[in-house]
């Protein structure tokens, strides 16, 4: 069943969202993320070598729930079932980057600026990717 617009908008407008991906045994692994709407899709940025990216390459199912900055989900929180894909490097997706910058403003710029500074010190390349999330059919 397709996710109703009201629930999709509620997830898109949440400050933080618990993004749950699934292990091989079906167990959920949830991580709090920033999320923004880009057209009909939701977008998230994360580092390429995270567990959620590895799990998504095998199983594209995700569960989205509004949460706190620390990932606490209220017992009565809505859950939206969706599909996610690794769209590619964050540097190649200007629309997703703009959507996240628009929603999170200085916080987004500060966090990513600090990460870039640390990467330069460690001589590591930028390895952020964009996850594109669409409504489950």
Per-domain residue ranges for the chain?
5-135
Mean residue pLDDT across the chain: 90
User: Mean pLDDT throughout 78-91?
Assistant: 89
So what's the pLDDT on residue 44? 96
User: Mean pLDDT throughout 97-118?
Assistant: 86
Compute CA distances 110 → 23, 115, 116, whole Å.
32, 9, 10
Confidence check: pLDDT of 22 > 70:
yes
pTM of this prediction exceeds 0.75: yes
Strand partners, 134: 83
So what's the pLDDT on residue 1? 54
Confidence check: pLDDT of 56 > 90:
yes
Band of the pLDDT at 136, cuts 50, 70, 90?
confident
So what's the pLDDT on residue 94? 87
Confidence check: pLDDT of 75 > 80:
yes
Band of the pLDDT at 126, cuts 50, 70, 90?
low
According to CATH, the topology of domain 5-135 is Pnp Oxidase; Chain A (2.30.110)
Q: Is 20 helix (H, G, I), strand (E, B) or coil?
A: strand
Q: If you compute the radius of gyration of the chain from its CA atoms, what whole number of angstroms results?
A: 15
């Amino acid at each position: 069943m397709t996710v109703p617009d009201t629930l999709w908008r509620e997830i898109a407008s949440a400050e933080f969202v618990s993004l749950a991906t699934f292990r091989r045994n079906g167990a959920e692994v949830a991580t709090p993320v920033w999320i923004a709407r880009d057209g009909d899709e939701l977008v998230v940025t994360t580092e390429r070598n995270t567990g959620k990216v590895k799990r998504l390459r095998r199983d594209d199912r995700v569960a989205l729930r509004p949460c706190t900055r620390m990932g606490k989900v209220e017992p009565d929180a809505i859950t939206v079932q969706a599909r996610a894909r690794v769209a590619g490097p964050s540097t190649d997706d200007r629309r997703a980057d703009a959507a996240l910058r628009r929603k999170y403003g200085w916080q987004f710029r500060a966090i990513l600026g600090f990460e870039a500074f640390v990467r330069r010190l460690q001589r590591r390349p930028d390895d952020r990717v964009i996850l594109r999330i669409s409504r489950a059919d």
